[in-house]
């Protein structure tokens, strides 16, 4: 007789958990589909939280009976109150994920825009023969103003000293270290045919003028401004993309806890209201609820492995999924009963 009563109570708990938590498949399957590698961990979290909620419901039914119903009478009962609280908690979680998602998207867009920018041309005439060559203008001005026996001073006309010459016909980059601020008179004034040359200028130490169109070169002939911008952009991208490895588990834990709060109220009411042949004991509640949890989890895992379902869920941002679950919990809790 005791065995029959236990089986009856176990069956009652199984049907109770299955009917009240079957809707968990709707929000549990997307999480299992989004992270196949963490699927086992998600399943363990779901089982642990559901069993904890079941134990808490049994304890609440034992000590409180209908205390919450005495304070919350009428349409806005305890179950609807917990649905509103779950909606608020999930909405806060979704808003936090939305802010992080927006920052990541902005960082990715900035990186794409930076990669699509044209290369900086320090001397436009080297790539476009139609534009005037600034080297030829410097040479012509220096020739017209110098005596026949005096060397040409480039730094006197422009407050810059040539330090490096890049030949586009070869891949070599070498530095010229003149002994003085003037260019030797025996240096050739013309460029050989078939080779395009342009000169980088380093900003002098005593230079206080504007830096427009002037490349700040380091000793390797690389623009320091470009390096600084690239490093700062890379740092921002890395910081925005850096997320803790435990973030998916934290989100899932919050969703499971807030999504199963309404089940606890149903369990409390049913456990407190049963008596006689259907009196629910703790072992029967644990066995029946555990079997129902296994069925729900198996069904959710099966749906999560459907290919088209995985493709749809992978394209859905996490904040959209959390907000959809929050609205679902709110609407379902308000329309119950």
CA distance 123 to 196: 11
> In terms of Cα–Cα distance, which of 2, 5, 10 is closest to 284?
10
Please state the domain extents for the chain: 2-113+241-335, 124-222
CA atoms within 13 A on the CB side of 154: 21
CA distance 302 to 306: 7
With the C-alpha atoms ordered 269, 273, 276, 278, is the resulting torsion angle positive or negative?
negative
Please classify residue 149 by burial: count the beta carbons closer than 10 Å to its beta carbon, then call 0-12 exposed, 13-18 middle and 19+ buried. Answer: exposed
CA distance 6 to 12: 10
| C-beta neighbour count of 243 within 10 angstroms | 10
| C-beta neighbour count of 123 within 10 angstroms | 20
Three-state SS sequence of 217-273: ECCCCCEHHHHHHHHHHHHHHHHHHCCCCCHHHHHHHHHHHHHCHHHHHHHHHHHHH
Which stretch, 31-40, 196-205, 215-224, has highest mean pLDDT? 31-40
Q: How far apart are the first and last CA of the chain?
A: 35
Q: Are strands 197-202 and 173-175 parallel, antiparallel or unpaired?
A: unpaired
pLDDT, residue 70, reads 56
Range from 17-26, 48-57, 105-114, 277-286 carrying the lowest mean pLDDT: 277-286
- Sort residue 65 into left (φ over 0), alpha (ψ -120 to 50) or beta: left
The overall average pLDDT reported for the chain is 66
% the chain with pLDDT above 90: 4
pLDDT, residue 324, reads 81
Q: Compute, in degrees rounded to 10, the torsion defined by CA atoms 184, 190, 193, 197.
A: 70
pLDDT digits over 83-125, tens only?
Answer: 777 778 778 877 877 888 888 888 888 888 877 766 555 555 4
């Amino acid at each position: 007789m005791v065995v029959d009563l236990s089986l009856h109570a176990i069956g009652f708990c199984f049907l109770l958990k299955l009917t009240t938590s079957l809707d968990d498949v709707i929000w549990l399957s997307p999480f299992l589909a989004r992270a196949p590698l963490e699927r086992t961990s998600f399943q363990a979290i779901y089982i642990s939280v559901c069993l904890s909620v079941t134990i808490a419901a049994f304890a609440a039914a034992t000590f409180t009976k209908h205390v919450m119903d005495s304070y919350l009478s009428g349409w806005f009962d305890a179950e609807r109150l917990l649905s509103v609280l779950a909606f608020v908690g999930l909405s806060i979680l979704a808003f936090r994920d939305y802010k992080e998602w927006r920052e990541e998207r902005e960082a990715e867009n900035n990186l794409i825009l930076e990669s699509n920018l044209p290369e900086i041309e320090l001397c436009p005439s080297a790539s476009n023969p139609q534009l005037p060559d600034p080297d030829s203008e410097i040479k012509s001005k220096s020739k017209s103003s110098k005596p026949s026996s005096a060397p040409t001073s480039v730094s006197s006309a422009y407050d810059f000293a040539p330090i490096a010459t890049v030949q586009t016909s070869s891949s070599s980059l070498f530095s010229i270290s003149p002994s003085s601020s003037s260019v030797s008179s025996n240096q050739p004034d013309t460029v050989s045919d078939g080779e395009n040359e342009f000169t980088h200028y380093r900003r002098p130490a005593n230079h206080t003028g504007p830096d427009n169109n002037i490349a700040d070169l380091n000793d390797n002939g690389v623009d320091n401004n470009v390096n600084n911008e690239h490093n700062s952009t890379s740092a921002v991208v890395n910081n925005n993309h850096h997320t803790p490895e435990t973030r998916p588990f934290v989100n899932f834990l919050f969703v499971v806890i807030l999504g199963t709060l309404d089940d606890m109220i149903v369990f409390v009411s049913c456990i407190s209201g049963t008596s006689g042949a259907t009196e629910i004991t703790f072992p029967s509640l644990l066995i029946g609820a555990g079997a129902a949890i296994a069925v729900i989890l198996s069904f959710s895992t099966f749906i999560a492995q459907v290919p088209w379902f995985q493709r749809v869920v992978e394209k859905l941002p996490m904040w959209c999924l959390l907000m959809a679950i929050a609205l679902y919990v709110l609407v379902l809790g308000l329309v119950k009963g």
